[in-house]
Amino acid sequence: MKSYMKNDITVIKQDEEVVVVYNRNNRNTYKIGHKEFEILNLLNKANTIDDIYDSNFSKDYIIHLINTFSEVGLINEKSIKKRFRNWKLIDGIEVFKSKKLFIKILYYIILFLPIPLLFIGISLVKFNFNSVVFSFNFINIICALIFALISTLLHEISHGIVAAINNVYVIEIGLKFNHFIPTMYTSLYGMEYINNKRKILVYIAGILSDIGLIGISLILYRAFPSLDNILFLYIFIEILSVISNLCIFMQTDGYKIFKVLLGEDI
**What's the number of domains the chain is made of?**
2
Same structural domain for residues 185 and 145?
yes
Average pLDDT, the chain: 81
* Cα dihedral: 191, 196, 198, 199 (round 10): 50
Lowest mean pLDDT among 26-30, 89-93, 205-209: 26-30
pLDDT grade, residue 179 (50/70/90)? low
pLDDT of res. 53: 60
> Around Cβ 220, how many Cβ atoms within 10 Å?
17
pLDDT in tens, 218-234: 999 888 888 877 888 89
Residue 159: pLDDT above 80? yes
Same structural domain for residues 144 and 13?
no
Same structural domain for residues 146 and 256?
yes
Amino acid at 86: N
| Higher-scoring residue by pLDDT: 249, 76 | 249
pLDDT grade, residue 4 (50/70/90)? very low
Same structural domain for residues 60 and 117?
no
Which of 31, 49, 76 delimits the end of a domain? 76
pLDDT of res. 155: 96
Same structural domain for residues 17 and 148?
no
pLDDT grade, residue 1 (50/70/90)? very low
Q: Is residue 254 part of a domain?
A: yes
pLDDT of res. 2: 42
For the chain, give the percent of residues with pLDDT over 70: 79
Domain of 136, in residue numbers: 87-261
Q: Is residue 41 part of a domain?
A: yes
Report the alpha-carbon angle 180-182-187, nearest 5. 120
Which of 57, 76, 95 delimits the end of a domain? 76
Same structural domain for residues 28 and 111?
no
pLDDT in tens, 193-203: 899 999 999 99
Residue 23: pLDDT above 70? yes
pLDDT in tens, 58-90: 565 676 677 778 777 777 654 333 444 568 889
Q: Is residue 231 part of a domain?
A: yes
Q: Is residue 82 part of a domain?
A: no
Exposure b/e, 23-37, CB count within 10 A at least 16 = b: bbbebebbebeeebb
